[in-house]
Amino acid sequence: MARKASLSGFPEWLPQERAVEQHVLDTLRRIFELHGFANIETRAVETVGQLLRKGEIDKEVYGLSRLAAEETTKSDPNALALHFDLTVPFARYVVENAGHLAFPFRRYQMQKVWRGERPQDGRFREFTQADIDVVGDGTLPFRYDVELALVIAEALSALPIGDFRLRVNNRKLAEGFYLGLGLQDTAGVLRCIDKLEKIGADKVAELLKTELGATDEQVAAALALAQICTEDTSFVQQVRALGITHPLLEEGLDELAQVIEAAVRRAPGKVVADMSIARGLDYYTGTVYETVLVGHESLGSICSGGRYESLASTGKKNYPGVGLSIGVTRLVSRMLGEETATAARSVPSAVLVTLANDESWHEAQDVAAALRSRGIACEVAAKAEKFGKQIKYADKRGIPFVWFTAEDGTHEVKDIRSGEQASADPAIWLPAAADLTNQVTAAG
């Protein structure tokens, strides 16, 4: 069970919990690199003007200054603040380094971010995100929207998190549908639909009427669209059956069908077309993604993102992209809280090399060096206590093997879980593959 942090919103994992988080990060890194994404890291701070240029809520941004510095005003665009996501810093990074990057540029990034919101289940003030994006110079083929859905489905499938659903929609589809209905404020409709799961259909209907002036017929059609969710391309016929036509709607239907058609072949059952997904942020222009854990939908999205045409731009240069962000800390906190994944031990060590007497410490270090040279993590006992105490120490730390060296120079290794003990040579001995590293496995 995850330990409650002493400072709310700033989690600190115990070693065995940290091993689970590290496993998640290592797995994501491996999958991303298998797909050719290069790793970058951006600075932790940006100027306030840079962070808020897309209209984000400034009350969630942590300002950064020296304690002895004069108080800076919120209106100072050059004041420094901690980044609250990785997308805005990445956009700046692309613009500043465009001359040194090969486009389309494929990047992944895993860093801490900070957000001043009220801590609650799945929400933190300091947390780790893992992002992947593909950015083009001027244009970016739609195929990347399809590819990113498949990469994320593969990455999440490799984690011990249970079943999940990557829910995909297309802003062109939604906006074209609303325009065909006669609702011109498509951004406003999207913001209302984005609240559907939080406040329910009746309250969304009320918002559409009071804030946007929608008629009963328009509201009914908008909510009917949001009800459509399929694991295959049958959503196309269901949307068309609603009787609304618009060129942008057709474009969105075609793009979303490409994503789902590929997912049916590559990630069956994991990716669904869900017309209720809106993503309230205005910079998304096409494909939008949200991911939920089946049975833990109340946690909210653990991975989200979409296509943006002009998040990164300068002068006449435009860098369209598509990307997704995984809330690693949110995901890990649920894994620990529900005990859906556990680490085999709290330390990386597979072997404790014992001491027969205090004079044997250097020889024990030679044994440890031989083991480490072949990738076997080990520790050497600090003092020559009774073997029973040394074994108890290994057991307390979760170290599965204890190494003994006799006076005649021969060696034996004991598996303290089974009690089996056998002769061993430090130059060739290997533990079972499952014991070589600290394994993280799904519960049950």
The residues that bridge with 79 in the sheet, in sequence order, are none
Mean pLDDT, residues 91-97: 94
State the average pLDDT for the chain. Answer: 92
**CA dist., res. 180 & res. 172, Å (int):** 12
Residue 393, pLDDT > 70, answer: yes
Q: List b or e across 261-272, with b for residues whose CB sees 16 or more CB atoms inside 10 angstroms.
A: ebbeeebeebbb
Q: What is the DSSP string of 285-347?
A: EEEEEEEEETT-GGG--SEEEEEEEEEEEETTEEEEEEEEEEEHHHHHHHHHHTT-EEES-SS
- CB neighbours of residue 297 within 10 Å: 11
Q: Can you say how many angstroms the Cα of residue 130 is from the centroid of all Cα atoms in its chain? A: 4
DSSP bridge partners of 308: 284, 321
The Cα–Cα gap between 96 and 434 comes to 45
Summarize pLDDT for 144-155 with one digit per residue, the tens.
999 999 999 999
Q: CB atoms < 10 A from the CB of 198, how many?
A: 9
Closest residue by Cα to residue 94 from 83, 106, 82, 84: 106
Residue of 110, 155, 103 whose CA lies nearest to 134: 103
Task: Quote the pLDDT of residue 65.
Answer: 84
420 φ/ψ angles, rounded to the nearest 5 degrees: -70, 135
What is the pLDDT, as a whole number, of residue 338? 84
Token pair, residue 222, equals: 């908008």
- Tokens, residue 110: 């895993």
pLDDT band at 4; cut points 50, 70, 90: low
pLDDT at position 72 is: 61
Residues making up the annotated binding site for L-histidine are: 85-87, 115, 129, 133, 279, 283-284
- Which residue has 């030679």 as its token pair? 366
Q: In which order are the strands placed within the sheet that holds 229-230?
A: 38-39, 105-114, 126-135, 317-327, 303-314, 284-293, 164-170, 271-274, 229-230
**Burial per residue of 86-118, b for 16 or more beta-carbon CB atoms within 10 angstroms, e otherwise:** bbbbbbbbbeeebeebeebbbbbbbbebbbeee
Mean pLDDT (whole number) for 217-223: 96
Q: Which two tokens stand for residue 86?
A: 């990785």
Q: How confident is the model at residue 162 (pLDDT cuts 50, 70, 90)?
A: confident
Cα 86 to chain centroid distance, Å, stands at: 12
Looking at the chain, the whole-number percentage of residues with pLDDT higher than 90 is 78
Rounded to an integer, what distance in angstroms lies between the CA atom of residue 45 and that of residue 51?
A: 9
Q: Place 1 in a pLDDT band, splitting at 50, 70 and 90.
A: very low
**Beta-sheet pairing, 411-415 with 164-170:** unpaired
Report whether pLDDT(54) > 70. no
How sure is the predictor about 74, in pLDDT bands with cuts at 50, 70 and 90?
low
Cα–chain center distance at 405: 46
Annotation: CATH topology of 15-40+95-109+129-343? BirA Bifunctional Protein; domain 2 (3.30.930)
Contact 148, 104 (CB under 8 A): no
pLDDT(5) > 70: no
What pLDDT is stored for residue 444 in this prediction?
61
Angstrom CA distances, 370 to 187, 362, 367, 425, 428, stand at 64, 13, 5, 10, 9
Binding site, annotated residues = 85-87, 115, 129, 133, 279, 283-284
pLDDT (mean) for 291-311: 88
Domain boundaries, the chain: 15-40+95-109+129-343, 351-436
Asked if the model's pLDDT at residue 166 lies above 80, the reply is: yes
d(CA 125, CA 8) in angstroms, rounded, equals 8
| Tens digits of residue pLDDT in 125-134 | 999 999 999 9
Whether residue 70 has pLDDT greater than 90: no
Tell me if the domain spanning 351-436 has CATH number 3.40.50.1220: no
Q: Could you give the residue ranges of the DSSP H alpha helices within 2-142?
A: 15-34, 48-51, 87-97
Closest CA to 105 of 73, 137, 58: 137
Six token digits for residue 216:
């009963």
Mean pLDDT of 312-325: 89
CA angle 109, 110, 113 (to 5 degrees): 110
Report the C-alpha gap between 110 and 32 in whole angstroms.
11
Closest CA to 122 of 335, 289, 386, 278: 335
- What is the predicted pLDDT for the residue at 136? 96
Tokens describing residue 311: 């998040």
CA distances from 339 to 21, 165, 335, 343, 388 (A): 13, 20, 6, 10, 32
